[in-house]
Amino acid sequence: MTDIITEQATAAASGAAATEQFRTRQREGAADADTQRVDTLATDLITAVHDVVRRHKVTYAEYDALKAWLIHVGQDGEWPLFLDVWIEHVVEEVTSESREGSKGTIEGPYYVPDAPRLPAEATLPMREGEEGTPLLFQGQVTSVDGTPLSGATVEIWHADNDGYYSQFAPGLPEWNLRGHVVADDQGDFKIHTIHPAPYQIPTDGSCGRLIAAAGWHAWRPAHLHLKVSAPGHQLITTQLYFQGGSHVGDDIAQAVKPELVLAPTPVVDGDANGIGNGNGNEVTYDFVLDKA
C-alpha cells in the first residue's frame, strides 16, 4: 500500500488537531451563554465535586495528583478527547430524548467539516491499494412520516484498517475515508469504502495515564461516524457498529446502542469496486429524520 504511516500517531499530535478543530468550529458558531444556565450548571458541577471529596475522604496527596493530571490534560491538548470519551454520551442522551426518528450517539473528537461532496453512489477518497475488507454501506433517508428526503446529505468518516483517522495521524491523505454524500431523489445512497478497525484511544498522554491508573481498557469498537441532514429536518449525529465486533459490549466511550449495531452480510453480486481484498461485505441502514 502506498502512503504507509511511517511515524507513530501520538496523543499530543492527535489532541492538538482535535483542539484546533474544536476552536475553529467554536469561532464560527459561537453563541453567548445564558448567565442563569452557566450559574446553575457550574454550581451543580462544583457541588458534585465537593460531594465526591467528602464521601471518599480525599487526601491532599490525591488532590495534588488530580490537580497535576488536570494541568497535563490541558498541556497535552486532550480535553476534547477526555470530554468526548467520558462525558459526551450523556449530553447526547439528554439532548435527544424526545427524538422520534433514528438514534444518535456521540460525535467524537475526530470530525472535520467540509469533506468532499460526492454523488449518491460513491467511493470514499482513499489511497491506491487501501488495505481492509471492502464494505458497501447503503440505505435511504426518510422523514418520520415515511417521505423520502430527496438530496439529503450523508456525511461519513471513519478509521482505516489500522485504526487511524485522516488529519489526526501522520502519513494519511487529507480526506482519506471522509466524504459528504448527497442522496438521490428517493433519499437513497450507496457508499463504497473499507471496513474500519477497532482502535485504542491514544494512551501515551493524560487520558492514557488515567486509564492505566484506573485499570480500564482503552478500546473503541469498529464504527462508522455519520451526520445525516435534510432541509426542514433535524441533523442527526450517530455512529454505526458491527455485530460480533470486539468491544461492542464494553466500548470505553459507552456510545453503543442496540439500534446502532449492524449485521454485515457477504456481497453476493458484483465486485468490490476495486477496493481492498475480495468482494467484502455489505450493510443496509435507513435513517429517519425528525422534523425541525
Judge whether 193 and 264 are in contact, CB under 8 Å. Answer: no
- If DSSP states are collapsed to H, E and C, what string results for 248-287? CCCCCCCCCCHHHEECCEECCCCCCCCCCCCCCEEEECCE
pLDDT in tens, 97-142: 999 999 999 999 999 999 999 999 999 999 999 999 999 999 999 9
pTM (2 decimals)?
A: 0.86
Kindly tell me if the per-residue pLDDT of 267 is higher than 50.
Answer: yes
Compute φ and ψ for 226, nearest 5 degrees. Answer: -145, 145
Q: Which residue has the higher pLDDT, 14 or 103?
A: 103
Residue 170 Cα distances to 4, 20, 133, angstroms: 9, 16, 22
Q: Determine the pLDDT at residue 29.
A: 52
Count CB atoms within 10 A of the CB of residue 53: 14
Segment holding 188, helix H or strand E: strand 188-194
Kindly tell me if the per-residue pLDDT of 178 is higher than 70.
Answer: yes
Judge whether 236 and 101 are in contact, CB under 8 Å. Answer: yes
What does DSSP assign to residue 132? S
Q: Which domains does the chain have, with CATH numbers?
A: 7-292 (2.60.130.10)
Q: Determine the pLDDT at residue 20.
A: 74
Residue 166 Cα distances to 12, 47, 169, 202, angstroms: 15, 40, 6, 15
**Beta pairing class for 178-182 and 188-194:** unpaired
Kindly tell me if the per-residue pLDDT of 4 is higher than 60.
Answer: no
Count CB atoms within 10 A of the CB of residue 273: 17
Judge whether 129 and 1 are in contact, CB under 8 Å. Answer: yes
Kindly tell me if the per-residue pLDDT of 1 is higher than 50.
Answer: no
Name 236's bridge partners: 228
Q: How confident is the model at residue 28 (pLDDT cuts 50, 70, 90)?
A: low
Burial class (CB in 10 A: 0-12, 13-18, 19+), 176: buried
pLDDT in tens, 49-107: 999 999 999 999 999 999 999 999 999 889 989 999 999 999 999 999 999 999 999 99
Judge whether 197 and 159 are in contact, CB under 8 Å. Answer: yes
Q: Which residue has the higher pLDDT, 32 or 202?
A: 202
Mean pLDDT of 1-11: 50
Residues 6+ apart with CB under 8 A from 35: none
Q: Determine the pLDDT at residue 279.
A: 80
Q: Which residue has the higher pLDDT, 20 or 2?
A: 20
Range with lowest mean pLDDT among 116-125, 179-188, 202-211, 282-291: 202-211
Q: How confident is the model at residue 275 (pLDDT cuts 50, 70, 90)?
A: low
